[in-house]
Structure 1
Amino acid sequence: MRSFFELLPSRIDQAIAGRTLRTFRVRRQRDRFGAAPAASDGQPRRLYIDVTVISRHDAGTGIQRVVRALALALVDEASPAWEVHFVAATRRRAYRHIAWPDAGRAVAPIAIEARPGDVFLGLDFSLDMIRRHRRQLAKFRLDGGGLWFLIYDLLPVERPEWFSPNNVIRYKAWLETIAGIANGLLSISQQTADDLKHVLADQYGLTGGYSTGIIPMGHAIMESVLQNAADISSAPSVRFDTTHPFLLMVGTLEPRKGHADILAAFNELWRQGSDYRLVLVGRQGWQVESLCNAIRNHPEHGAKLLWFDDVDDLELEQIYQACEGFIIASHAEGFGLPLIEALGHLKPVLARDLPVFRVHEDRGVHFFPANAEAGELGDHIRRWIGDIRAGTVTVKPPVANWKKSAQAVLAILD
């Protein structure tokens, strides 16, 4: 109920505010900011990295693996010209310094303030806190700081039917906030950059006045794990038998991820006597109650069909290593991190034929038609597995890593 009342002003606003009013508000906000002053001489620039969500609850999603890996890499790659600080906000407390990832480290919880050349990097997916503390962030920019945000996708605007109504409201309120205050916007792929440009122009009349950049994504899960090497070496084994071949899907179970299509295809294969195993790793999302019930009550559940909704990064790393091949069936993505995580483990990948995935074609990714029915999709899966077992699938690992990702961010911020 609290969420309903907190979002009520945004709910009403989005119901009545048209493009003209949204454009006016964004333009009025942006007109408050002049040219950024030069960085202070003799002082390092401060980079404030927002880790609001992950510092409170690390759900192990793809976005959080990106946040964790990139935040840690930025600390390692920043030159002495930068001071890197992790910051977070709560409903009642504005953005301030926090001790992360080492919660035991002594850090004074001082609210962030800008001097010329400082940068706030909205790395985490902090929809509510950015909106709630927009005045603090606007003052940060007025005082000479830069506001940059990483955009993962625009799907809640482009395909709202795939998301819960509250999350669509939260996302749109966040996007209008950053459209009004951001110096620059980073994207995780060319697809996301193109979508961002279109949405900002279409929704807010914003066609310029902000900087952009595309960040290459790393893929190594172990580079984002916070535990030390001893913890990694003593990680518990995978909870199912990995000695028999299995196909893997990774990602939250939600409508756009395409799990239902893959399950239907495997149903056809199993009906024909196939012994292929399908392993699903991901938490239950929204609008998938019928799918989750179908999985739990499936006659092959626990045998040829396995679903784990509480896998941590250490276990996921082992599952990637053990799988025979990887399937990504999303109907849309801003990037598709699990795809390059699988390629990073030199695993064959079968993907829905989308432009965002086609950029990986030269790395050995195979494709099935975007609108394939269960029977046709099953045929593609059967042929793909046959090629894997015949040794005719060649996989090339991604060239980017989190070190290069961090270097790209720092180069853009310079």
Structure 2
Amino acid sequence: MTDFDAQNRIDDYLRRQVFEEECFLRAYEMDPYTRIVYRRFRELYWTVSRLLKRDNVANASSAFRAPIFPAAVQLQPGPRILIDATDLVASGKATGIQRVVKEISVNAAALGLGLPVVVKDGKLVAACGEGGETIECREGDILLLLDAGWNRLDDYAQLLQDFRARGGKIVACLYDLFPLLYPTLYTHTLIANFEAWTHRVLLDCDAIVAISKSVADRFATYVKGLERKPRDGMKLGWWRLGADFKQEDKKAPAPSIEALARRAPFFLSVGTVETRKGYPVALEAFERLWAEGLEANYIIVGRPGWNAAAFEDRLRRHREKGRRLFWLDNASDADLAFLYREARAVVLPTMAEGFGLPLVEAAHFGAPVIASDIAVFREIGGDAACYFDLLDAGSLVGRIRQMLAAEKHAPVIPPSSWSDSAAELMRMLREDCYQRSLG
């Protein structure tokens, strides 16, 4: 499939999902003002959440009461790398971007290769132990913008200017460009913040590090179409995320999860329930198979996301709910590890992804993988995964049939530990060994 065909297929899919979402919202008898409030509920939720995060960061003593990082970091000789972990410390979350920030920061600190910091009142403050010590930039320092800085752009403006004026370099992590590429999936606030971050911060960095080559390639293509060009000499690199599998993953799952796994062969999807994940395509494929009499279950493990109220309602009201269709929105790590091990295969119907950690996790736990044929999955999974045509339920039906007819074989996708991932990233920054140059 050409890039043009793939984009047309994505556009058609997004139009259908937006239409269904609008129809769902209009299905209720409500006045225009109530409808607006309902439509913006998640956006308001995240706005309030960000304001609360700001309050947490403003109060340094409360922000550091439960230390995330080692009490002291003994940095190795060489450039000092300061790792921004502001959102992580403020929110206390450990999923998504914050998971990456935590694992990279903790492991870089343990290796003596990086010092976690937070932004407070336009200054950098150490985030280790009790924290609170102001970090003054020295010539040769590298500030790694690893966290979700677009949520608080105003806090960074003067800081970045002062950091560079003192001889420091600025490197930003790029997880994806989805708010710019697929704006119908996100809130207006997020889109505006992310666009401002991209144009005012990313384009002025000394280097960009992406979580996959696919994301780096997408960024290189994106900047070619901009009037404003990247900073002269800008470097572009990418590295592999980690996937440590800890002892707690071997704990016993809940009895209800064990009982569910014994009912019938099942296929598993993992990830937030949002439009980008392609769940409607997977559900359509199983609906076709169920209509043919297939006795196999479909289990989704993921929390509710955003702009997918219509599909969430469809899951809750589906006639197969509790029979052959199951949505687990609060599964534990032990539950998920067990489901990975017992699944006939893991289905990843995503239309766009930055890395695709469930693919690596599935391989670790011995589950075959059926994934959308997108560049990043090919990059991570290679020949070890089974691919179906992007957003094509019919193609997925064929792959599911093949998987049921074949003997179960675990794919071989060697994971990188978080320690290895942190070391690779820190080496790239310290040795200035990026794969490409943009500016």
Give the TM bin, normalised by the shorter chain: 0.7 to 0.9
**Correspondence for 1:319:** 339
Q: How far apart are 1:381 and its partner, in Å?
A: 1.4
Out of 192, 196, 214, the position equivalent to 2:215 is 192
**Correspondence for 1:220:** 244
Out of 377, 390, 407, the position equivalent to 2:396 is 377
Spell out, residue by residue over 1:287-330, the C-alpha distance to the aligned partner (whole angstroms, 9 max, x if none). Answer: 21110001011122223222122335454334333333211111
Indicate how the Cα distance of structure 1 residues 328 and 238 shifts in structure 2: closer, same or farther if over 3 A, else same: farther
Aligned length: 356
> 2:179 and 2:196 mapped to 1: Cα distance?
11
CA RMSD after TM alignment:
2.8
Q: How far apart are 1:264 and its partner, in Å?
A: 1.1
Aligned residues of 2:203 and 2:229 also touching (Cα < 8 A) = no
**Correspondence for 1:357:** 377
Asked whether 1:69 is paired with 2:103, we answer yes
Question: What SS does the corresponding residue of 2:225 show, helix, strand or coil?
Answer: helix
> 2:200 and 2:245 mapped to 1: Cα distance?
32
Question: What SS does the corresponding residue of 2:115 show, helix, strand or coil?
Answer: strand
Aligned residues of 2:214 and 2:379 also touching (Cα < 8 A) = no
**Correspondence for 1:97:** 126
Q: How far apart are 1:113 and its partner, in Å?
A: 2.2
Q: How far apart are 1:151 and its partner, in Å?
A: 0.6
Q: How far apart are 1:232 and its partner, in Å?
A: 6.7
> 1:276 and 1:63 mapped to 2: Cα distance?
33
Q: How far apart are 1:236 and its partner, in Å?
A: 6.1
Indicate how the Cα distance of structure 1 residues 302 and 89 shifts in structure 2: closer, same or farther if over 3 A, else same: farther
Aligned residues of 1:62 and 1:337 also touching (Cα < 8 A) = no
**Correspondence for 2:228:** 205
Aligned residues of 1:219 and 1:341 also touching (Cα < 8 A) = yes
Identity of aligned residues (%): 28
**Correspondence for 1:88:** 118
Aligned residues of 2:254 and 2:335 also touching (Cα < 8 A) = yes
Aligned residues of 2:363 and 2:412 also touching (Cα < 8 A) = yes
Q: How far apart are 1:258 and its partner, in Å?
A: 0.2
TM-score (norm 2): 0.73
Q: How far apart are 1:186 and its partner, in Å?
A: 0.3
Asked whether 1:293 is paired with 2:313, we answer yes
Q: How far apart are 1:376 and its partner, in Å?
A: 4.1
Asked whether 1:139 is paired with 2:162, we answer yes
Question: What SS does the corresponding residue of 2:201 show, helix, strand or coil?
Answer: helix
**Correspondence for 1:117:** 140
The equivalences for 1:11-410 within 5 A come to 45-78=79-112, 82=113, 84-89=114-119, 94-99=123-128, 105-107=129-131, 109-207=132-230, 208-222=232-246, 237=254, 239-241=256-258, 242-244=261-263, 245-360=265-380, 362-372=382-392, 374-387=393-406, 390-391=407-408, 393=409, 395-410=411-426
Q: How far apart are 1:128 and its partner, in Å?
A: 2.1
> 1:158 and 1:383 mapped to 2: Cα distance?
34
Aligned residues of 1:238 and 1:318 also touching (Cα < 8 A) = no
Alignment-mate amino acid for residue 115 of structure 2: H
Indicate how the Cα distance of structure 1 residues 63 and 312 shifts in structure 2: closer, same or farther if over 3 A, else same: farther
> 2:136 and 2:220 mapped to 1: Cα distance?
30
Alignment-mate amino acid for residue 97 of structure 1: A
Alignment-mate amino acid for residue 110 of structure 2: D
Aligned residues of 2:243 and 2:415 also touching (Cα < 8 A) = no
Q: How far apart are 1:63 and its partner, in Å?
A: 2.9
Aligned residues of 1:238 and 1:315 also touching (Cα < 8 A) = no
Unaligned runs of 5+ in 1: 8-41, 100-104, 223-228
> 1:48 and 1:204 mapped to 2: Cα distance?
31
Q: How far apart are 1:69 and its partner, in Å?
A: 2.2
> 1:198 and 1:350 mapped to 2: Cα distance?
28
**Correspondence for 1:18:** none
Aligned residues of 1:363 and 1:397 also touching (Cα < 8 A) = no
TM-score (norm 1): 0.77
Q: How far apart are 1:363 and its partner, in Å?
A: 4.4
Question: What SS does the corresponding residue of 2:354 show, helix, strand or coil?
Answer: coil
**Correspondence for 1:38:** none
> 1:51 and 1:173 mapped to 2: Cα distance?
20
Q: How far apart are 1:249 and its partner, in Å?
A: 1.0
Aligned residues of 1:364 and 1:395 also touching (Cα < 8 A) = yes
Question: What SS does the corresponding residue of 1:280 show, helix, strand or coil?
Answer: strand
Spell out, residue by residue over 1:324-344, the C-alpha distance to the aligned partner (whole angstroms, 9 max, x if none). Answer: 321111111122222122122
Spell out, residue by residue over 1:181-240, the C-alpha distance to the aligned partner (whole angstroms, 9 max, x if none). Answer: 412110111111111112223235325421221112222343xxxxxx6x7776764752
Aligned residues of 2:139 and 2:166 also touching (Cα < 8 A) = yes
